[in-house]
Amino acid sequence: MVLERMRSWWFRYWILPRDRRKYKAMSVAETFSTIYRTKGWGNGGVFCSGPGSWGPVADQYCAFVIDFIAKHHISSVVDLGCGDFVIGKRIAEATGVRYTGIDVVPELIEHHLANSTDPCIAFRCANIVSDPLPEADLYLIRQVLQHLSNDEVGQVLRNLSNCSKALISEHVPIHPESINLDKPHGPDIRRFGGSGLYIDKPPFSIAVESMWEWPLEDDSLLRTCLVDQAALKQSGVADRQPAQQA
């Protein structure tokens, strides 16, 4: 127990601040290209988005989204931050929707384009923070915003104008020490600092419908919320000022 606490303290107060300073000096594209190139989220293939791509939580998330697509008669999906495409592929093949995977890492998108033959599946290299996004019935944003700063999250939310619905999933603590503690973009998430990203809380304050939750570790869960265009416009998120970064 004591050794585990010492490791947690060492990571939180020594390793994590050093990593955040490193990635803060990079652009968003440079940051995530570096993460994939250095296997920062694991070595599960040519490109690996981490353990969230497999296991019970991935199975349950895919089942939930597949059911949601069927119930809401969704015909087109844009996956913002598609990463290794393990989750997206399962959803696209099970539903037959027109699927577009978006990611900021050029090499990753080139890999997917070279290995995909399904005419209903497309990929595009784009920065979801600042680049125009394609139209779709549904946007999927799974464990992506948690890697961005609050200012960048606000810009992404402002950039969701080309779809009517978005399912946003985040890895959050069950008992957070704080809400929406700011951080630079990078491989880590707010949970490592005892916080979590909640777009229904300040500084975003967007009305959401809580749709699905699944336990991860003993002290955290994957939380998925539904956001629509009316809620985004009503929130005035584009006018919000970023909080001071940790």
C-alpha–C-alpha distance, residues 36 and 183, integer Å:
20
Q: Work out whether strand 220-228 and strand 163-173 pair parallel, antiparallel, or are unpaired.
A: antiparallel
pTM comes to 0.89
Domain boundaries, the chain: 2-239
- pLDDT reading at 36 higher than 50: yes
CATH 3.40.50.10470 fits 2-239, yes or no: no
Q: Which DSSP state fits 107?
A: H
- pLDDT reading at 5 higher than 80: no
Query: Considering the chain, what is the average pLDDT of its residues?
Result: 88
So what's the pLDDT on residue 87? 96
The closest of 157, 176, 181 to 238, measured between CA atoms, is 157
What's the whole-number mean pLDDT along residues 59-75? 97
What's the whole-number mean pLDDT along residues 221-235? 89
So what's the pLDDT on residue 13? 57
C-alpha–C-alpha distance, residues 4 and 1, integer Å:
5
Provide the residue type at 19 as one letter: D
What's the whole-number mean pLDDT along residues 15-33? 85
Helix axes 86-95, 55-71, angle to 10 degrees: 40
C-alpha–C-alpha distance, residues 43 and 36, integer Å:
9
